[in-house]
Amino acid sequence: MKENNLKKLSVEDLVKQISPSSLVIKELWNRGVLRSHNIVGDLGEYYAVKYYNKIKELPNLTLAPPGVKNVDALSREGEIYSIKCVTSVTGTTGSFWDPDSIKSNKKKFEYLIIVILDEKYQVNKILQLSWDDFMKHKKFNKRMNNYNISLTQKLINKVKTVYKK
């Protein structure tokens, strides 16, 4: 569809272009990249696993089944990885649920991978935090009763950068 034609469409009609029936979305589903209706999250998981499996010094990862809270991938050694994806260098990650067990320091994962995408949904940066890093930097969201991580330059400087564009 040409840009001029897009300008004539309502927001609702534009959104239909990215609906599950769009050819691009269907193809990403067929390839197993999309596994839920969280497109950004699924892209982050895909990019993280692809990158970790490509780099010899990093552990090979396998995606966990969809719907498992705070567990997105497993290493061959059985280490648990949580993966969050964001679309800008500043802001916050998605939610970490089960705040009571997190508050009591019950380890949910060994590592947190944060994939930061650029404006074209390509990988800009991949960060890796240990559980201890997560515990130091987590923020409680009282309204949602969950935790998240605020992406700040201070955080980025303190944690491991696995990939940088």
Could you tell me the residue range of the domain that residue 126 belongs to? 36-164
| Residues 9 and 69 occupy one common structural domain | no
- Say which residues have a Cβ less than 8 Å from residue 12's Cβ, sequence separation at least 6: none
| Residues 136 and 64 occupy one common structural domain | yes
Tens-digit pLDDT profile for residues 37-91: 899 999 999 999 999 999 999 999 999 988 787 799 999 999 999 999 999 877 8
Q: What is the pLDDT of residue 14?
A: 83
Give the Cα separation of 155 and 146 in Å (integer).
19
| Residues 14 and 84 occupy one common structural domain | no
Give the Cα separation of 146 and 84 in Å (integer).
14
Task: Using a pLDDT cut of 70, give the percent of the chain over it.
Answer: 98
> The whole model's pTM is what?
0.90
Give the Cα separation of 131 and 128 in Å (integer).
10
